[in-house]
Structure 1
Amino acid sequence: MSRTLSIWRWQLIFTGSMLAVVVVIAAFSPHTFGNPLVALGLVVLVATTLATLMVPWPRIPQSIVVAVPLLDALAVGLATSAPGMRIELLWVFPVAWLASYFALPWVFAGIGFISACLLLFTSRSGEPADVLVRVLIVVLTLSFLGTTIRIGAQRSRAARRLLQRQSEQAERAADRAQTQEQRVTQVIDALDVALVVVNADGRILKMNDAYRTLYGRDRFGAALPSTAVEYDERRGAPLSPERTTLSLAARAEELRSERIWLFDQEGRWRALQASTQRLADATARDRSTLLIIDDVTALIEAAEERRTLTAIVSHELRNPLMAILGHVDLLRERHDLPGSVVAQLEVISNASERMQRLVESTQDEARRASESLPEPVDLRQVVDASAASYSAIARSNRQELVVEGLDRLVVRGDAFRLRQVLDNLLSNAVKYTPGGGGIRVSLGADDGGAVLTIADTGDGMTADEVARVFDPYFRTARAVVGGAPGTGLGMGIARDIVSDHDGSIEVGSAPGAGTRVTVRFPLTEEDGS
């Protein structure tokens, strides 16, 4: 089809030029059409144009196509037979056609044909020298023009072929790069080590499946509603947003197997080792850092199991050691034993005493490691840390999260477990409060007790649902139908933790009126205000 369109385009352009010349002749020299050769030239032009439009060119050999520009050259030659006609310039069209699509011999053959037409049909009025000069000028001009166009066409085709090959190579290279990137992504996603690339603005550029699963993020990097929180140590203090591993990596701070603890959304402790690696960048603005997080929980648990086994073995060895030492003492009180036996008993006694001291030392270490005494905890700090972790999700949901009340409220207990209570309550408030709603956390004291209140403007619950809110796996019908994530265990866990701290928890709610949770703890001897 492209071949047919090209032939039509060349022929119609030439025909239009000739028709424009005919119009000019008809306007200023109509008697010219009385010349039979001029009329024959117009007939040849019309016939050639009609044949060009009717012939099925895809089925015609390339060698036949050359007849069209030659017939056009004949039409121009016949038209030049009229005295005073100077339309030799129109031979440029058939010469340009030949030079664009045919080899150079065809170009010179066409120029030779045009020279013959010029000698046969052109008016010979004037001196022979003038006619000869005219013929030579036309031939030389068309020869230079045809050669130039042919060379340009060859270069253009060569450049087009080169560009096409380069384009194909670029496409193949892009396909290979995409395939390689997919393979690398698959390999990285298969790793158990969590990997994430973060830029200076704290935006996640890339991450693998291990990191998504560990921190509860979608494939775009957005944080999902999750209670996963980083701690400086197990059952220790939660890390502030500025000290989390992601924030440290964004600031390009160097980490080398830094130990942190993560309490994940499944309620499990995970021991992590975090390291950072600066990535090559073009400018400081494009700075990015690779954060490598290795889950070493299994190693830590194995070490704890070894310590537990050591403690058990030590405890079980204590009784037989006491028996050995007791019987050795009884034997040493006898006076009828040979001297060699007394010496052997002394060796047994010394060895048993050394082993007994080792067992007692091991038991003391295990006892100190297992002891966990309640300590004073500022409830306001726990509330602020939990609210900071949920503030980003609240903002994305267009919710207003406000913390108010006392700036200091000290209770005695476990900071980590109290943080669990706050995380569960705030998670529910954020989850079940619609966009544009509000969540208010208040801290106060009355009758010697600390009072923590979390109130939201959510859909609320019926009286029957409030009565069952602490039951394991219970979820409201609205939460189930709405597809809100959750297991129904959070409120029961919160109640058990509060009870362990000698506190109480109450839930008040009504449909359309939101939910209000009130938690009370005994105050320490320190002033809670």
Structure 2
Amino acid sequence: MVRTVSIWRWQLVFTGSIVAIVVMITAFKPQTFANPLVVAGFGLVILTTVATLAVPWHRLPRTAATAVPLLDALAVGFTTNAPDIRLGFLWVFPVVWLATYFTLPWVLGGIAFISATLVAFADHNGAPADILLRLLTLVITLGFLGVTIRIGSQRSRAARRLLQRRSEQVNRAAERAEANQRRVVQIVDALRVALVVVTTGGRILQMNDAYRALYGRDRFGAALPSASVEYDARRGTALPPSRTSLARAASGEQLQAERVWLFDGRGQWRALEVSTQSMASAGEGEDITLVVIDDVTALLEADEERRAFNAVVSHELRNPLTAIIGHVDLLREREDLPGRVPAQLDIIAHAGERMQDLVASILQQTSRSAQEPFAPVDLREVVDEAAASYAPVFSGNRQELVIAGATSLVISGDPFRLRQVLDNLLSNAAKYTPAGGRIDVAIDTAATGQAEVSIIDTGFGMTPEELSRVFEPYFRTESAVRAGISGTGLGMGIVREIVAAHEGSIDVSSERGIGTRVTLRFPPRSAEEVQA
């Protein structure tokens, strides 16, 4: 359809020019119409125009349109028969048409056709040399015009194609940038941390869904009727507009985990930690700041629950332990105790005191700092003490406990925590080894210089799948559950944490029906520690 309109446009412009010339001839030199070739030329233009408007050009090949400028050239050739009117300049129209839309051979062919019509129909009055000169001048002029326009048209098309390709590339880049921006927005909106970008003028450039939900904003950033209000403390004083988190960030204040309380639109208190981060300038003289707001309400509530749990532990465990230890001390003062009873009371008292220490460590609000230096600890002594505590258990189960290896192996550590490790491992060995079984404890120095303690039992053992889950909280083997063996499934996780705190490692290997081997390795003491 575009090609059809272009053909119509060119032909109507040419026809309009011919009509204007006919009007002028009628006004100033009507006798020209006495020449039948001139009338035929003007008539051919009209017929060609009518045919041009009637032909469905979109259904025909592209080269079919060359018939129109060639017919126009023939019509102009008819009009050149008038001796006193120079209408040959009208050949410029078909030549320009051919040069604009068709290849150079068509342009040269059109010029040759025009030359033929000039020879056939033009007025031949005058000397042969003059006629030849007019012919050559016309051919050279039209040839120069056609070639020049053709080259310009090719360059114009090449430039248009280049601009079109660049436009397509720009559009594709814009689409990719828009898609990337949408992905970034989706990722940012999926975060649970509230993010907002604010300028020095207090204007919000961007925010994510977490911020909208927290501060009661719609998707356009406007405040909802039930907007949230910031306070300096829970149930404290509402912050003035100049001291809100956004206002302080816009003013250039650097915030780092600043605590703010928020009363949201649903009537709930939320504890927030606000941090700021400077970003690239949004424009001349205007800086922007990223505000990161983390909702720590759940953490504070968990801390409150932990303190309540500590209070329960203090009341429910410490007081009964105090009573147990007190009555054991009273029994130990008696002189009529038979046989092994005093030794057994000593074990009970020692176990109660250790339980008191354990409860105290649970109740502490801060654990031992990782930077706090450890004291020298003899692993052999820790093993012997733990074995003495569990000797009645092994004896009652008719289990054999054998301790072998180094008589002294000193490392740097926490004796209380290391005793927890040995107690847990010996307790497991006793529980999961059937009556008549054997538990071996080997203490030695490995080839790498590390202190090594191995506990080997001949118990139930574990499958590879169970072994892979041995450190999971609350995990217990299926055989232990079926046998009704008591336990919480937390012991091995506690052991691993204590060993890791000593920069050591723990390795567990087991085979179903054969037994389990637990190997502890601790770094050797440094030369400075030995010298000290």
Q: TM-score range by the shorter chain?
A: 0.5 to 0.7
Q: In the TM superposition, what whole-angstrom CA distance separates every residue of 1:129-152 from its partner, at most 9, and x where no partner exists?
A: 332222222111111111111112
Alpha-carbon distance change, 114 to 210 in structure 1, aligned in 2, over 3 angstroms = same
Q: Distance in 1 between matches of 2:36 and 2:274?
A: 98
Secondary structure in 1 matching 2:192: coil
Q: Is the 8 A contact 2:201 2:286 kept in 1?
A: no
Aligned to 2:45: 45
Q: Distance in 1 between matches of 2:6 and 2:214?
A: 63
Which amino acid in the other structure matches residue 304 of structure 1?
A: E
Q: Are positions 1:6 and 2:1 aligned together?
A: no
Q: In the TM superposition, what whole-angstrom CA distance separates every residue of 1:49-94 from its partner, at most 9, and x where no partner exists?
A: 2222222222233333212111111111111112122122111001
Instruction: Note the C-alpha offset of 1:329.
Output: 4.8
Aligned to 1:225: 225
Q: Distance in 2 between matches of 1:244 and 1:310?
A: 36
Secondary structure in 1 matching 2:294: strand
Q: Are positions 1:192 and 2:183 aligned together?
A: no
The alignment covers a number of residue pairs equal to 366
Which amino acid in the other structure matches residue 298 of structure 2?
A: A
Secondary structure in 1 matching 2:280: coil
Q: Is the 8 A contact 1:314 1:362 kept in 2?
A: no
Instruction: Note the C-alpha offset of 1:299.
Output: 1.9
Q: In the TM superposition, what whole-angstrom CA distance separates every residue of 1:5-56 from its partner, at most 9, and x where no partner exists?
A: 2111111111121222222222222222222222222222222222222222
Aligned to 1:141: 141
Structure having greater relative contact order (Cα 8 Å, sep ≥ 6): 1
Aligned to 1:301: 301
Instruction: Note the C-alpha offset of 1:269.
Output: 2.6
* Unpaired runs of at least 5, structure 2: 366-532
Secondary structure in 2 matching 1:86: coil
Alpha-carbon distance change, 286 to 10 in structure 1, aligned in 2, over 3 angstroms = same
Aligned to 1:178: 178
Normalised by the length of structure 1, the TM-score is 0.62
Instruction: Note the C-alpha offset of 1:162.
Output: 2.5
Q: In the TM superposition, what whole-angstrom CA distance separates every residue of 1:327-384 from its partner, at most 9, and x where no partner exists?
A: 245346545679999899899879978987997999999xxxxxxxxxxxxxxxxxxx
Which amino acid in the other structure matches residue 213 of structure 1?
A: A
Q: Distance in 2 between matches of 1:99 and 1:357?
A: 103
Aligned to 2:154: 154
Secondary structure in 1 matching 2:281: coil
* Residues 248-263 of structure 1 mapped to structure 2, 5 A cutoff: 248-263=248-263
Instruction: Note the C-alpha offset of 1:268.
Output: 2.7
Q: Is the 8 A contact 1:200 1:285 kept in 2?
A: no
Instruction: Note the C-alpha offset of 1:182.
Output: 2.5
Q: Distance in 1 between matches of 2:222 and 2:151?
A: 60
Normalised by the length of structure 2, the TM-score is 0.62
Q: Is the 8 A contact 1:76 1:88 kept in 2?
A: yes
Which of structures 1 and 2 has the bigger CA Rg?
2
Q: Distance in 2 between matches of 1:159 and 1:227?
A: 56
Q: Distance in 2 between matches of 1:265 and 1:28?
A: 91
* Residues 382-393 of structure 1 mapped to structure 2, 5 A cutoff: none
Alpha-carbon distance change, 138 to 351 in structure 1, aligned in 2, over 3 angstroms = same
Secondary structure in 2 matching 1:66: helix
Which amino acid in the other structure matches residue 261 of structure 2?
A: W
Q: Is the 8 A contact 1:231 1:261 kept in 2?
A: yes
Q: Is the 8 A contact 1:315 1:359 kept in 2?
A: no
Aligned to 1:85: 85
Q: Is the 8 A contact 2:196 2:292 kept in 1?
A: yes
Bigger shift: residues 80-89 or 25-34: 25-34
Secondary structure in 2 matching 1:154: helix
Secondary structure in 2 matching 1:324: helix
Q: Are positions 1:315 and 2:315 aligned together?
A: yes
Instruction: Note the C-alpha offset of 1:113.
Output: 0.9
Q: Give me the CA root mean square deviation.
A: 3.2
* Unpaired runs of at least 5, structure 1: 366-529
Aligned to 1:56: 56
Which amino acid in the other structure matches residue 294 of structure 1?
A: D
Q: Distance in 1 between matches of 2:139 and 2:364?
A: 115
